[in-house]
Each structure stands twice: as C-alpha cells, then as structure tokens.
Structure 1
Amino acid sequence: MIFMIAILLITYFFPRQGKFQYSFSEGRPWRYGLLTAPFDFPVYKSAEQLKREQDSILAFFEPYYIIDNQVMKNALAEFDADRNTKSNLKNLEPAYIHYIRNKLTEVYNQGIMSVEDYERIASSATRSFRLKEGNVANSRDIESIHTIRSAYEKILNERPKHLDENKLKSADINNYLKENIIYDASTSEKAKREFIQQVSPTIGMIQAGQRIIDQGEIVDAQTYTILSSLKRVIEERSGGVGSDSWRLVGEFLLVLILLGSFYLYLLFFRPREFRNRKNVTFMLLIITFFVILTAITVKFNLFNVYIIPYAIVTILIRTFIDSRTALFASIVTILLSSLMVPYPFEFIVIQITVAMVSIFVLKELSERSQLIQSSFFILITYILAYVGLTLYAEGDIKKVNGMILVYFLINFIFIMFSYLLVYIFEKSFGFISGVSMVELANINKPLLKELSEKAPGTFQHSMQVSNLATAAATKIGANASLVRTGALYHDIGKMVNPAFFTENQAPGINPHAGLPFEESARIIINHVKDGVKIAKQNGLPQQIIDFIETHHGTSVPKYFYISWKNVNPGKEIDEEVFRYPGPNPFSKETAIMMMADAVEASSRSLPEYSEESIRNLVNKIIDDQLEEGYFKKAPITFKDIDTVKGVFVDKLKTIYHTRIAYPELKTQI
C-alpha cells in the first residue's frame, strides 16, 4: 500500500506537457543528427521580446473613464440646502452664492479626477484618456480636467474683482467638490487586451523540410528561438485527450517498474527491512520527496536541478539502513528524476557518480564530522564529473559553464546541513544511527560514569559482555555497533540496589541473607524494570531499551528459584513471582546479548579455566537457552548460534588465559 501511494503521487506530479525529444541550450553544441522542420510552424518571439514590445505599445494606451453626473447633482443640492441653514452661507450676498453655484457647475462639467489618476495620466506618453459618454468614448487631454485642489483654486482665482477672496474661502467651497471622473476598469482591461493584440507574437514561418541545425553546430540565439518555437508547437499539438491518456499510462508504467524493482530488492535481499513498515515509509518518503521536488522544479522552471542535493538520499539511507540499500534507492531516485530533466544522460552520469562516492566516504560512519567531510568530497566529485563530461563532449575547457559550478556550490551548502536531517529523522522515526551509537558507547557519558561509580562490578561485567557480544555480532554479520552499545547499558537498573548483585558485593557480605527467596528474586528481577525506567528518564533510544528488556527474556533467577524448591519440596510454586517480565529476544542482536550476558556471568564461577571447561560451560548455557525456547522469535540460525559459541570460547580463553609465574631473584650468600 505504501509503495502504491508513492507510485501514484509521483505519477500525479509528473510534468504534463508534451515531450520534445531533444534537449538544447543556447551557446552549446547540438548533440543530435540533422534536424529539419517536420511541418510548417511559426517562429515565436521570446517571452522577453514579446513583453518588451507589448510594454512599448502600452505606453500609448489611453485608459477609459466615465463621468458620474449624479455627483454634480448631489453637490449642488447639498450647497442649496446649506445656504439656507449654515450661517457662513446665509450671511453671503446673493452675488457670491450665484458665482459659487455657477463655478461648481462649470468645474463639474469639465470633470474632477482623483490626484492619483491625474498624476498617472499626466506622466504618461500621451497625457490623455478616453471619457465615455453613452456609447461614445472621446479622447481628452489631462489639462482639460481638474483635481479637487485645482478646481478649488480655479473658483478662487477666476472670481470677479468685486468679490472678496476671504468671503469666498469662508463658504467652505471644498466641501462641495467631489470626484466625478471614475476609472472604468472593465472597459480599460478589455481595450488593453485588444490594444496589445496589435503586437504579433511571431516573427516569421519555417517551412516543412527546411534545415534547422546539424550535429556539432552551436545553438545560437536565432536557432534557439526556432527550436523553442518547434518545441512549443509540438507540445501544443500533443495536448489531446487521447495522447495525454497514453502518456499518463507510460509515466505510470515507468514509475511502477522502477519503484517495483526497489520493492523486489527489499523483498528478496533485505527482508528484515521489508517487514519493517517504519523503515519502508522512511525510504519511500525520501525518494518520493526528491522526485516530486524535481518534477515541480522542471514544470515551473524554479531553478536548475543541480541545486537539488540528491546525495542526501544516499546519506540518510546509508546512515539508518545500509550502504547497498542506500545506493539502490539513490539509483531509483536518479532514474525517476532523469525522466523529467533536460540532458538526462549528463544528469544520470553525474548523480550516480556522486551517489557512489557518498557510499565510499561514509563506509565507516562513526562521527558526525564525517557527514561534513563527505560534503567536500561530494562537491569535488560534482565538479570533476561535470568537467570530465564537458571535455569529453566538447574537447574545450572554455566550454565549462561557470554557472553550473555555482549550482554545485549551492548544492554543497545544502548537503552540509544533512547532519541536522539525521538528527530530525532520528527523533521523528525513532531511528538510531551509527554516529549516535558511537556517542552513546562513550564510557564518559554521565549514565555510564554513574554506573561505574555506584556498581563498579556491574560496569566491568557490562564491558566484558560488550566485548563478547561485539565479536560475535561481527562474526555472524549482525549490527556490532548496536550490540556494543546495548551491552554497556543492559544492566543499568542494578544501580538502584547494587549490593544485592554478587559482582558488587564485598567478601563476606551478602544482603540476601535472611531475606525470603521471593523477596530476593523480586529485587533481582526488578533491575530490568528499574533499568527501563532509568533509560527512559535519560532519553535512551528504544533500540537500547530493547536490550535491557530482553537480556533475561522470560527466564527465572535460577539460584533463588531452585533454592525455594529445595526448601519447599512438593509445594506448588508461583512461577510469576520468579520470572523476568521479558520479552524474549526478537533480533539477532538481542539474542547475542542474552547469550553473552549469561556466559560471562557464569564464567566467573568456573573452578578452572581450561579450554574444555570453558567450552562445556558455553555449550551448556546456550543449549539450555535454546531448549527453553528463548530464541524462537529471533531471526538467528543454528549455524549462527554455533559460530557465536566458538567466538565466546575463543574470547574467554584469551580473558582467562594462564599467566606465567615470574622467577624470584636469588641472592648469593
């Protein structure tokens, strides 16, 4: 279901225009054979040229306005009403009233426009506009009309000599001046569209069979315009419903095949990852995001595709899954993206080369600084691969496009922040990277230092278990870093009651003396629950908590279990009182941990350390665990277990080897 969602999303975002089968750029050589016109087609002006010509002709466009006669009627009616009610008008002589009313009628008939519209028209090339009166629109000079201010000044300045200016001002004439020339947006926009249609979008025709370009020739500005026009016509012609449907089917099939191959890779070669829904979702999320980002970038021409940091796909999947899966996922992402980009061959060669280098430089990922270092190697690879391809295709170092190198530099900056993405995905998906495990395995971590101080014997036991489990995990191909880290933390719960565990007890002191066997068993069993609680309080990942929960599985503390049965023969024992909460191991790593913990603890009680005694101990303990069924849910084989036994025997022989006795110096008498 997750795969189908990814397939449908990518297919949906595929660019929908008809596909022009050639890729070309101005100033670069034509890589294909002779191209002739397949049919008659117009040569379209470039968008920039067409826009420039349209802007040039629009400079002579006259916008449309209408005159609102009701404004004058309302203003005069208001003036007539006020001259009978307002004192400033009532006290004016009739000559003033008559003059003001006539001038208001005059300026309204000439027209009053807003200051903004007036200044815009006054600054235009024509300094005129069209005034609609009924079905007729006449051209008017801007000087023939007024703004509110110029109308007011006209009334004052054109007064007869016998009228006093101050008395006119006291009439508050500006209160009766309103704009009556209104912009007609709908008519203006319609007229503007018709006006710019005078500019032809084409600059000629190419006849069918006419030669356009041949292999090796440089795509100059004129040829680029012709090729762009041919591409545009082909894409417009291929826009039919039938062709779109078949193109959609083709896109779906290509995406299905490529993502289907990734599905089969996981199914047959990484079944553990295939069964992990979280891991599958994570990988498909990254692949889908970068492919859709490519589709959107190409469709809307947002920026050059070389800015997109495809190497992040490799880095993230390598960090959380493994190198082979990271390379396979990167190839699928690159091939899907290449279906959308110009120059797909160049794109595939450069991006796959970068993906391989990313895998090589992160082979042993143990420090976050390696992610920063890898960014520099990736940048160098981008530059070398691009320069190599340019020299191979063109044979001239001057053909290297400096702008492409700038795109690589931006790509490099994005990749440098990949370590932040590692942290984000760790928290979002609950992953634990090799870097995080190395950091957690540092014995100077506060929690491990606290363990070494409160329970030094347990700390030493954890170190020995870590060594045993790491060696075994390496031998059978399990995750050695995870086992090493999990082993260091598996017994942190013993810090709560360290003295109750033999490795921390001083000679002759046993806190269990006098305690009921049930109580002693409870204290021992609780170190698992206490360990989980401490781990969660300190923010340890769930993968480490798994080791704490499973290192005893659902076994029983045999010393107290058997002691109780010996003291209470024939009585029914409550198994739950003497049983660890579990669960049992469910991975190779947790199974190895359980074996290593039991073997290391028991090896301390051997009376002698010979190869035979060590081998017998290892075989007995692990065979008992197998017989109890503790490894039924773990994907570990009998062959793996036999290999683990051999590793434990070899390591314990080294730890407990017999040391030679140093001779004493004899003194001469």
Structure 2
Amino acid sequence: MESSRRKVKLRVKKSIKWFKSWSRIETGRRNIFFQHGARIFLLLALAWLALVLTPGRRTIDPFFDVQAGSVADRDVIAPFDFPVHKSQTELERERREAADRVKPVLEFLPGVRDVAIQEESLFFDLLKKIRSDTLVKKSLVSWNRYLDLTRNQNKKFKIKPVVLQYLYSADSLLTLSDDEIIYLFDPVRSSLLRNRLKDYLVSRLREGIISDAALSRIENEEVLLRRDGEEKVVESSSLNSLSRVIEQSMSEVIDPEYQEVSKSLFVQELRRFIRANIIYNWTETERLRQVAAAAVKPVRDEMVLKDEKILSRGEKVTPEQMERLDNLSAELEKRELVTGEADQIRHGLGIFTVYLLLLLILGIYIYFYQREDYQRFSKLLIIAISFALVLLCSSLILGRPELPGYLIPVAVAAMLIAYLLDDQLAMVATFCLSLMIGVQANFSSYLVLLSLAGGIAAAISVRRIESRRAQYLPILYVAAAYVLVLFAVDFAYRGEDFNTVLRSAGWCTLNATLSTFIAIPLLPLFESVFKITSNFTLLELGDLNRPLLKRLSLEAPGTYHHSLIIGSLAEAAAAGIGANPIYARVASYYHDIGKMRKPEYFIENQSGKPNPHNKLSPKMSSLIIASHVKEGVDLARKARLPECIIDIIREHHGNQPISFFYSKEKEQNPDTTLREGDFCYPGPKPMSKEAAIIMLADAVESASRSLSEPTVSRIKSLIRGLIEAKLRDGQLDYADLTLRDLTRIGDEFFNILIGVHHHRIEYPSSGEKPQDAKGPNSRTKIVSGPDGKDETGGVVLTPREDVD
C-alpha cells in the first residue's frame, strides 16, 4: 500500500516537473505548436474518417458459403450492373463449336501451271536436241526403215548403243520401253503427244487440282477457296484430285494409230509433270479457328442490373441463382472490393493519401486566402464536421444498392459553410468534397460532376438570402444545377430512356429539398456551439422592434437615428467591397447602444437642453464620452448579442484621441503633464472590414451634419479627407482594406449622403482652431479635430457647445 502511494507521488512530481519545463518553452514555439499542430491533427483525422467511411475498403459480407439447393439466409441485391459469365465447360464447348464452323482454307497457286508447262517444254526440247545429233539421225533412218518393214511382224526393235548414251543423259527416259522411246523420237508422233499433253495440263491446272492427302482431310466438307484475290465457298467433292485427273486421262485418245504406246506415254508423262495447284492452308485455317474461338464472348447476353434482387431470404437457391452469385463474387474481386489483407493495406494507404492531398489543398487555400478562418479553430471544426456529415451520408447511400448516388447531400456542407463562414470558401470546399465523394464511389467522375454542380449552386444561392422567406431558395438552385448536369451528361454519353432520366431528376430534386431542410435546422445548433453568427441570426437582430433597439429609440432617439443612417452607409459600402452587408448594417444599429446609459451627454440627444459637460472637468467629460464603448459591451453581453456584434461595439472607435477635451485640459492646466492615453478611446483598432467601414461611416455621417450647404464637391471632399485622416492615423492597419476598397467605400458613402437633404452644421476644414459661436442664434460651433472626426473621434468644441 505504501509503495503504491510512493509511485503515485513520484508520477505527480514527474508531471509537475514536465509541466514546469513545458511552461519555460518559448511562448512563440508553444503557440506555433498549438496553432498548427491541432490543425494538422484535424486534417489527418478527417482523412482517416473518410477512409473508414469509404464503402469499398470495408470487408463486404461474402456469400461464398451459399450452395445450390440450400436455403438463403439473406437477401442479395446487385450493387451494380454486371454480366453473367459462362461456365468453363460451356465456354470451351462454344469455342470448340465456333472453331469447327470455320471452313478449311484452300489456296490456289497460279504459278504451278507455268512450272508444269515449262518442265514439259524442257523435256520435249531435250528430245529435239537428241534427234538433231548426226549419229542419232542415221540411226533413226534405219529405225524407221526397219520399223516400216517389221511393223506388221510384231518384232521388237533393239536400240543401238550409239543412242544409248543420250538416253542416259536424260534419265527421265530410262523408265520408258524401247517402243515408247522410238515413239518419242518420231518428230511427228512426239509433236502430237506434246500438244495433247500440254492442252490437257493447261485445262486441268486451270480448273485446279488438289492432292489426295489434302482432299482426304476435308472430304465431304464445304471449303473456302481463295483464288485471284477472291474467296468462295465450294464443296470439297467438286474439286479434282491428282488421282482423279490421272484416272480421267486414261480415257483420252492420243494417237489412234498407236493407241497403247501413245496412251502409256501420255499417262507416264502426265504423272511426271502434273502436280497439285490447290493446297490446304493449315496455318491459316488454324488461325481463323483461333480467331473464331476467341470471338466467343465469355459472358452471356443477359445482364444483372443494379438493384435487381438475385436472391431472397428463405428461398431455395437454384443453379441459375448460384451462377449469378458466383458472377457477383468474381465481379467484386475484379473491382477489388474483396481483397486480401496485404492488398487492403496497400489500397487503403493509397486512398488515404488521396484524401489527405485533397484536404491539404483546402487547408492551403484557407491558410493563404482565409487567414481569419484558419486562426479560429472553431471555424475549421465547422468545415470538418460538415465534411464528416456528408461523407457519412455518402457512405450509407453508396453502401445500399437500392439508393441512388443522386441522394448524396453535398449541398448540406456547402450551405453550412456558406451560411456560417464564406461563400467563396464554400465553393472551394465543395470542390474538394466532391472529389472525395468520387473516390468513395470508386472514382466516379459522373458523381463528382453532379456533386460539384449541386454544391456550388448551394453556395451561390446563399448570397441571395436576405430574409427568412428566402431561406428555401437553395432548393431551386440546387435542383436546377443537378437536373442540368443530369440531362447534359445523359445526352452526351449515357443515352438512357426519357423515363429513367425523369426518375433520376426526381431523385435530384428530392436531394435538393432534403439538403435544404437538413441545413436550416443545423444552423442554430452550429451557431450556438461554435459561437458563429449567421446571416439568419443577423437578420433577426436587425429587427428594429427588438427590445434593445426599441429602448434605444426611446431613451436616445438622436443616437437611434444616427445609427440607422450609419447602417445604410455601412451596408452599401460592405456590398461594394465584397464584405458582409447584413453584418455591417445590423452591427451599425448596435454600435452606440452604450450611449443609453448617459444619453444626455451626447449632442444628438440633447435637443436644446443645457450641455452637462459645461459643469464637468475635461478629463471627466473624456471619461464619460469614452465609457459608452464599455457600457455598450456590457449591455450587449446582458442582451446576449453575438460576439461579432460586441467586436464592432468595442472596435468602432479604435484608439482615437478625444482631442477636444485633451486640448481643453491642457488650456486649463498648462503646467500639468497630461497623459494622452487618458483622453483616448480604449480600442482596439478595427480588426475586420465591417468594423473599419462602420468607423468611417460614423465619422462621415457625423461630419456631414455640419455642412450648411452639402454640395457634391463638398461632400466628396469631406469623405475623402476623413478616410485619409483615418488611414494616416493608423486606425485601418488591421482591417485588411486596400486603397481600392477605400475608394469604393467613399463612392458608396457619397451615393447615400447625396440623397440626404437635411440641413447640417458646417465643419470647418481640418486643423482650424476652435472659435466661439457668434450671433444670437448660434449656440454651438463644432470644429473637427486633426482626424476629422466628430464628438466620438476627437471633436473640438467651444466652452458653450453641446458635446456628443
């Protein structure tokens, strides 16, 4: 027990020591850690959440244990369109049948005929050469004479040795009998034989001859004969084989006088020279058969459509249903929706990196172009939660095949970000979120385009909302954007029937409606949790019948009227430079509520009554004038006004000096050392565009009341001088306003003031010393201080003037 106490004490001491060492770390380093570290962690957490919510990365409930004949324990609905593949046996059988249907390819060789005729000519030319020899001629004379004498005696003629040497030089003659050789060496007979043989060769080879071996392989089949660049289908039985051609030649009558010898020579020489000129192209035939087999589709003509029920719970599984389940399993594996552990880790890291890069793009944009939102962590949380809500809905919708992707409510995030933060930021966020949804949907570019159109339309529609009745305007914008993209993509690529497109358009309209009805109730919740004020809340605060404004109109009517005019000026100027006009107008209504505590000390509320400042010391008057800022903050907090309104109340005077009372105190006590800070507003300087606009509007409106003749040139000169004075004094250092913005603000002020026709007291030029008012009708003389401001910005007053 004692040892455990010691351990606890030791741990406490270590914790205290660590905290002390941490507290000694340079403040800047700690701020950097907390500022950027938390944001980086938020980015990583959101990327991880998106990965978890990606349907394809989760283990899909398999149905591999289902067998044909068993009872299904669940409903199985097709999550996407997929084809039904043929079984391996069926596919092999169809491919074999397709290959068998390919007809054998026969090639006609036209050059064979020329070769055969050439060889036949060479043979008979050789005979002619032999006959031209002198010795052969003498022998032939004796042969012919002897042949004539013994023809009728059936005597065998013997070849003389002088001829034999020529016969050996032509080995093609060695197989012939003596009678056949004698016949060939007869010029007349030989010429007759030559002509008949050539005619027969030419005619048969023209028709085409196929070898007996090739014909036996294609017997009783149709074949594809390629000849002279053309193809035609013929019966194999119509083709002439070598044996058939030779057999038919035996019926030919060559020489009626010497039938046996001439027929024998004709057949022998025909065998020698004739050859097949139609060949069986086995290589081409096999190639065509392989092509035909490969052309057989592995899938059937039927398709299982998305949302089609494959199996019903409690139903007996048929072989056909089992086949569909097998095909679905194969398709899931193909799409990597069912993977091994290593593949899941690899793919998960890749998807996580994609999400991280997209969020990093958004983070970089916010850091460089929306620095105020980056510095307020609560605003980054709004973006993260909006993303998480949409990604969660997307995961649920994509995980249920019966629900279309058109229902993903991207517009919810776009509207929340646009309502609570900024419409431009909402557009950039929509771009990144749409790409993330596309990754969730297996990189669906179509869904990205739809989401992007709907989200941007929602962000744009928020700009036009200036009343509660207009809060449902996004329904029209988002639905129109969805339907426009839907029809455009369908006409360009998808080509679905019109009823299907109309049904999809109905889903899109439902999405737009649901998104709007989801976003609007979430706004008060987000505003309350994150202390963010939306335009809706500002519109409610701008109701002039609200208790605080009603009280202001009764207790300080001059201040109330002054605030209304500033509201008009600030609203126009904010709209001109791209700031929030609703925020500027409503904040103007409340910026001077602190004057209700002592309204009689401010000139616009005196209405001819004695000036109470005449009885006070300058320092006390300065404290009363400056206190309306603190009093206004206290009243605003009691009324639970939003922090953004309180910021305007606190900043609308900056840290300007109340120069009149400072000068008066100096006159009364010339030997006393005065602290200028005792005669200044507490500040801080305006930190937003709207606060700076209200500061300028306050100065311009107050100064314009002093113009006895508010001509165009005098009003322009007054506005320009006051803006330049605030700029020189450094009051606009933190307002993020450009010179172009200041010029535009001045133009908008001029447009409003030129329409005001009330007579105002004229302000002398800047730097003029205060003078006593002269004449019986002149009770006061207001002189602007160096900064050109009225009672709230360093006004110089005579001893008898009323002080605001």
TM (norm. structure 1) is 0.64
* Residue aligning to 1:515: 616
Return the offset for 1:590.
0.8
Which residue of 2 is the match for residue 355 of structure 1? 455
Matched, 1:311 2:311: no
Are residues 1:294 and 2:334 paired? no
Pair 1:234–1:506, CA change in 2 (3 A): closer
Q: C-alpha deviations, 1:623-661, integer Å up to 9, x for none?
A: 3333332222221223333443344345434425889xx
Q: What does residue 472 of structure 1 align with?
A: 573
Tell whether 2:746 aligns with 1:645: yes
**Partner residue in 2 for 1:630:** 731
User: Match of 2:360?
Assistant: 260
Contact 1:307 1:408 in 2 (8 A): no
Give the Å deviation of 1:573. Answer: 1.6
1:41-440 aligned at under 5 Å gives the runs 50-52=70-72, 206=88, 211-213=297-299, 219=305, 224-234=324-334, 239-295=339-395, 298=398, 305-341=405-441, 344-375=444-475, 378=478, 393-397=494-498, 399=500, 409=510, 412-413=513-514, 415-440=516-541
**Contact 2:533/2:642 (8 A) holds in 1:** yes
Q: How does 1:591-630 map to 2 (within 5 A)?
A: 591-630=692-731
CA change 1:403–1:635 in 2 (3 A) is closer
Letter in 2 for 1:632: D
Contact 1:308 1:411 in 2 (8 A): no
Q: 1:456 to 1:404 in 2, by over 3 A?
A: closer
Q: Contact 1:585/1:630 (CA < 8 Å) preserved in 2? A: yes
Deviation readout 1:267-313 (Å, 9 max, x if unpaired):
45444434443323311221133224433554587966544422211
Separation in 2 of the partners of 1:608 and 1:400? 67
Shift of the alpha carbon at 1:342? 6.7
State which drifts further: 500-509 or 597-606.
597-606
* Structure 2 residue identity aligned to 1:52: A
* Residue-by-residue CA offset, 1:339-392 (whole Å, 9 max, x unaligned): 223793443343333324424543411123333343366457657766776686
Rg comparison, structure with higher value: 2
Q: How does 1:465-544 map to 2 (within 5 A)?
A: 465-544=566-645
How far apart are 1:16 and its partner, in Å?
5.8
Paired residue type of 2:44: M
The separation in 1 between residues aligned to 2:483 and 2:749, in whole angstroms, is 49
* Equivalent-residue separation in structure 2 for 1:399 and 1:212 (angstroms): 29
Residue 9 of structure 1 is aligned with which of 46, 49, 68? 49
Equivalent in the alignment of 1:169: none
Q: Is 1:458 aligned to residue 458 of structure 2?
A: no
Q: What residue number does 1:561 align with?
A: 662
CA distance in 1, matches of 2:530, 2:68: 48
Letter in 1 for 2:359: L
Q: Quick check: 2:587–2:648 contact (8 Å CA) kept in 1? A: yes
Q: Matched residues, percent identical?
A: 27
How far the C-alpha of 1:596 sits from its partner, in A, is: 1.4
8 Å Cα contact 1:554/1:583 also seen in 2: yes
Contact 1:473 1:589 in 2 (8 A): yes
Distance, in Å, in 2 between the alignment partners of 1:54 and 1:483 is: 60
- Give the drift of 1:528: 0.9
Q: Runs of 5+ in structure 1 lacking a partner?
A: 21-41, 56-202, 660-669
Partner of 1:513: helix, strand, or coil?
helix
Q: Is the 8 A contact 1:517 1:564 kept in 2?
A: yes
**Residues 302 and 559 of structure 1, relative CA distance in 2, 3 Å threshold:** farther
Change (3 A) 1:406 1:657: closer
In 2, Cα distance between equivalents of 1:53 and 1:466: 68
Q: Deviations over 1:138-165 (max 9, x none)?
A: xxxxxxxxxxxxxxxxxxxxxxxxxxxx
Cα distance in 2 for partners of 1:471, 1:357 equals 25
Structure 1 residue 51: Cα displacement: 4.3
Q: In the superposition, relative to structure 1, how do residues 357 and 646 fare at CA in structure 2: closer, same or farther (>3 Å)?
A: closer
What is the Cα deviation at residue 595 of structure 1? Answer: 1.5
Cα distance change of structure 1 residues 414 and 587 upon mapping to structure 2, 3 Å threshold? closer
Alpha-carbon distance in structure 1 between the residues aligned to 2:300 and 2:522: 47
SS in 1 for 2:614: coil
The letter of the residue matching 2:45 is: I
Q: Which residue of 1 aligns with 2:138?
A: none
Give the length in aligned residue pairs: 491
Distance 2:488 2:64 in 1: 36
CA displacement at 1:205 relative to structure 2: 5.6
Alpha carbons of structure 1 residues 546 and 54: separation in structure 2 relative to 1, 3 Å: closer
Alpha-carbon distance in structure 1 between the residues aligned to 2:658 and 2:334: 79
RMSD over aligned CA atoms reads: 3.9
Residues 219-274 of structure 1, C-alpha deviation per residue, up to 9 Å, x if partnerless?
48557534312135557896334323321221122112322222333345444434
Post-superposition offset of 1:462: 0.9
Q: Would the aligned equivalents of 2:66 and 2:72 in 1 still touch at CA under 8 Å?
A: no
CA distance in 1, matches of 2:600, 2:639: 23
Which residue pairs with 2:651 in the alignment? 550
Residues 1:575 and 1:604: Cα distance change in structure 2 (over 3 Å): same
Pick closer, same or farther for the CA change 1:460–1:287 going to 2, 3 Å. Answer: same
Over 3 Å counting, the alpha-carbon distance change for 1:237 and 1:490 in structure 2 is closer
**Offset at 1:549?**
0.5
Q: Contact 2:393–2:409 (CA<8 Å) still a contact in 1?
A: no
State whether residues 575 and 581 of structure 2, in contact with CA within 8 Å, keep that contact through their aligned partners in structure 1. Answer: yes
Q: How does 1:556-595 map to 2 (within 5 A)?
A: 556-595=657-696
Aligned to 2:250: none
C-alpha distance 531-46 of structure 1, shift in aligned 2 (>3 A): farther
Q: How far did 1:505 drift?
A: 0.6
Q: 8 Å contact 1:609–1:657 — kept in the other structure?
A: no
Tell me which amino acid in the other structure corresponds to 1:229. S
State the AA in 1 paired with 2:727. Answer: L
Cα distance change of structure 1 residues 497 and 352 upon mapping to structure 2, 3 Å threshold: same
Partner SS, residue 358 of structure 2:
helix
Amino acid at match of 2:682: P
1:579-601 deviations in Å (ceiling 9; x for gaps): 22211111111111111112222
State the one-letter code of the partner of 1:443.
L
Q: Provide closer, same or farther for how the CA distance between residues 50 and 400 of structure 1 changes in structure 2, counting only shifts above 3 A.
A: farther
Q: Which amino acid is 2:363 matched to?
A: Y
Q: How far, CA to CA, are the matches of 1:424 and 1:601 in structure 2?
A: 39
Q: Secondary structure at the match of 2:549?
A: helix
Superposed CA deviations along residues 52-75 of structure 1, whole A, max 9, x for unmatched, are: 3899xxxxxxxxxxxxxxxxxxxx
Q: CA deviation at 1:547?
A: 1.1
Counterpart code for 2:299? I
Query: After the TM superposition, which of the residue ranges 6-15 and 518-527 deviates more from structure 2?
Result: 6-15
Alpha carbons of structure 1 residues 302 and 238: separation in structure 2 relative to 1, 3 Å: closer
Partner SS, residue 635 of structure 1: coil
Query: Aligned equivalents of 2:58 and 2:608: distance in 1?
Result: 85
Displacement, 1:485? Answer: 1.2
